[in-house]
A and B are shown apart, each in its own frame.
Chain A
């Protein structure tokens, strides 16, 4: 049981300057499962997501208390290199953010900098990543074209492929479909279902149906606190806290 938890937050408080965004969050994420984080805007779910790969380091005046244990090691310990953490914990953002480079170079950019140089290795990596992101068939003949020419949904799958190319253990997704149309959204959701065979996925979403469709576990946040956390089915059919019920039935948020 303990072994299946790949990353856990222990008593995490987080501050933007003097504003406390998270209070006493403790939760553990299971390996090769999809965990959804839901809650109204400003509840701290994205903040927690960004804490898991130290993306909040970039914000001036941010402060973390408590521990985030990745495979038993606190990623906020002074000797830990955040760059190393981010290689193993990838991230997909709300708005597709491909680089203004070719499709091929978007994917090879980070692997090249971490030591993959052989042309054949890079080509294999591009194909593998694009296949995993179910984008290969659409772009295999236009790999040299700028990623900016792709549609929004394709761009987002390219961003997923780009994250996969680093062979991470965990993929964090911050509202990955909120900028996409319903068809692209459906494709990304199918993709998430495929990916969990190999990866642990933690997804922040505003769309409760999406959380219900794609995740095995759901955590509900409200005003910086984790209100309820458990199997998705239980959260959506039989929540034990009143606030959770009010939120998922649309009474607020």
Chain B
């Protein structure tokens, strides 16, 4: 009995271990499977709608025919605009928070504020953008107002990612530079930021995806139901992919005819977001190859 006891308890331990491994493995598998399922579903339903005309023509016949070119262009402008607004501002805030600010109560409150900003529902950002940019600053419903609103929306993501990336740069690099008689600002701009850039980009990828996909923030600030013309200035309204999907799903009267186009639009939006992500990932890995420490 004495000899048998440890061996059964050992067996039981293996069973338990197997069980727990199984559970965690299953969770990981389920998440991936859900993603693949969604992508497959979109692809199966959407790929028939994709054609050269679909990508290069504006919608016609009350959205039942034609393409989505103005929406693709609009979403590209809005996304690039949002990144152009949020990246410099976000990186600058992160540099202040991690490199310059004296860590104390004020900074803690500021950080909590940034995190809260990340939790604000996107429709609130939309209304804020409407109030500030569209009405008060008189930008009207425009690319400018939409890009600024989306920029604020993704700001917390970019600040958070940039802070993490800056903290990941070894303290020894800062010391080495400062000890050579290089000023703090130059140490940050020549040594710290270049080494943090891959990490900053990684975080920004998430922001890009969100900016491209959000509907509520642009509904009141930038997106229009229909325009065949491409925007000529940042004060023009644009069509945008997420809003177009929303319109097709809710406002159409000939649902059977618009549904394939809707799936096609979803597929294009997903492909666009993944494409932008891919570019960011490629840039990052190219940078990482050069910067190994």
Q: A100-B291, A148-B293 are in contact. Are A159 and B183 (CB under 8 A)?
A: no
Kindly list chain A residues whose C-beta atoms are within 8 Å of the C-beta of B176: 93, 97-99, 159, 162
Kindly list chain A residues whose C-beta atoms are within 8 Å of the C-beta of B102: 60
Kindly list chain B residues whose C-beta atoms are within 8 Å of the C-beta of A83: 181-183
Partner of B180, one of A87, A100, A148: A87
Q: Is A114 an interface residue (CB 8 A)?
A: yes
Q: How far is the CB of A61 from chain B (nearest CB, A)?
A: 9
Bound-complex Cα distance A58 to B103 (A): 13
Kindly list chain B residues whose C-beta atoms are within 8 Å of the C-beta of A95: 172
Q: How far is the CB of B89 from chain A (nearest CB, A)?
A: 26
Q: Are the C-beta atoms of B180 and A86 separated by less than 8 Å?
A: yes
Q: Are the C-beta atoms of B175 and A93 separated by less than 8 Å?
A: yes
Question: B133-178: which residues lie under 8 A (CB-CB) from chain A?
Answer: 170, 172-178
Kindly list chain B residues whose C-beta atoms are within 8 Å of the C-beta of A110: 177, 180-182
Q: A97-B172, A113-B190 are in contact. Are A146 and B179 (CB under 8 A)?
A: no
Q: How far is the CB of A159 from chain B (nearest CB, A)?
A: 7
Q: Are the C-beta atoms of A55 and B175 separated by less than 8 Å?
A: yes
Q: Is A91 an interface residue (CB 8 A)?
A: yes
Q: Is B186 an interface residue (CB 8 A)?
A: yes
Kindly list chain B residues whose C-beta atoms are within 8 Å of the C-beta of A15: none
How many B residues touch A, CB cutoff 8 Å?
23
Bound-complex Cα distance A87 to B182 (A): 8
Q: Is B195 an interface residue (CB 8 A)?
A: yes
Q: Is B50 an interface residue (CB 8 A)?
A: no
Bound-complex Cα distance A93 to B170 (A): 14
> For chain A, which range describes its interface: under 10, 10 to 19, 20 to 34, or 35 or more residues?
20 to 34
Bound-complex Cα distance A90 to B182 (A): 11
Partner of B103, one of A60, A90, A97, A162: A60
Bound-complex Cα distance A33 to B89 (A): 50
Q: Is A163 an interface residue (CB 8 A)?
A: yes
Q: Are the C-beta atoms of A86 and B175 separated by less than 8 Å?
A: no
Q: Is B73 an interface residue (CB 8 A)?
A: no
Kindly list chain B residues whose C-beta atoms are within 8 Å of the C-beta of A162: 176, 180
Kindly list chain B residues whose C-beta atoms are within 8 Å of the C-beta of A146: 292
Bound-complex Cα distance A35 to B176 (A): 22
Kindly list chain B residues whose C-beta atoms are within 8 Å of the C-beta of A166: 180-181
Pairs A-B, 6 closest by C-beta atoms: A87-B181, A110-B180, A91-B179, A97-B172, A86-B181, A97-B176
Q: List 22 A-B contacts (CB under 8 A).
A: A58-B174, A60-B102, A83-B183, A85-B181, A86-B178, A86-B180, A87-B181, A88-B181, A90-B179, A93-B172, A93-B175, A93-B176, A95-B172, A99-B173, A100-B195, A100-B290, A100-B291, A109-B180, A110-B180, A110-B182, A148-B293, A159-B176
Add 17 more A-B contacts to A90-B181, A100-B195, A113-B182 (CB < 8 A): A55-B178, A60-B103, A83-B181, A84-B181, A85-B181, A93-B176, A95-B172, A97-B172, A99-B173, A109-B182, A109-B190, A110-B177, A113-B186, A148-B292, A162-B180, A163-B179, A166-B181
